[in-house]
Structure 1
Amino acid sequence: MAKQEYIQKNREWLSAKAKEPGVMSLDKGIYYKVIKKGNPKGAMPNRGSVVTAHYVGKTINGKTFDSSRGGVAPAFRLRELIPGWVIALQQMHVGDKWELYIPAEQAYGSRNIPGIPGGSTLVFEIELLGVA
């Protein structure tokens, strides 16, 4: 598939996903669906927070490119992650589990990353376990 065709297919997939029941929008074309609600009074991260989260990352064809499942949940400084994570996690409470749909522009853009072709819409299942 040609690069431009691949990019268009990813945009169309995201546009269709956005119309599904239960899918909500965030800034910059990011969408999500709540899988599990945490404590609504629980901690929420900011850009400078260190977050602990379990996650599974996939491309729109369902191919997993990264996962923390099966191991210890990693800790990340939020501001060092892709923009889509930075935007979404600041809206989550500890204990929330979301399926997140991130357009390429808020992920890796047109760059090819191992397992992720440039222009990819990314799908993450993220469970926020802690904020420091």
Structure 2
Amino acid sequence: MGEGIAADYLATLGWHVCARNWRTRYGELDLIAREPNPSGGADILVVVEVKTRRNGAVYDDPVAAVTEDKLARMTRLAWMWIGEQREFGELEYFDSLRYDVISIRMDGAAGAPLLRHHRGVVD
């Protein structure tokens, strides 16, 4: 459910979601999207980890659940996805690669999800 909310949010920003729940035996990437470059250059490729929690979860902000190990795995998987896309000629040029986290709490007012977008969580 959280990934659908996050994908809809990215679409409102004018981003194009390239892949959802991309899986290999090594793990999964939640969302891979292209963000239009504000300077007019090639798009920015963004790997997005979505963390969704309900009221009473262990972490106050779901982004706290994204560990260094998780970020390292995201990086390995991102390059696997890029390699696969290049192999099949399906990847347009991108200017840079960035890792974001979208955290969603499902305990908002009147049941509305509370979304936070954390940009550039890896240098």
Q: TM-score normalized by structure 2?
A: 0.30
Higher relative contact order (CA 8 A, sep 6+): 1
Return the TM-score normalized by structure 1.
Answer: 0.29
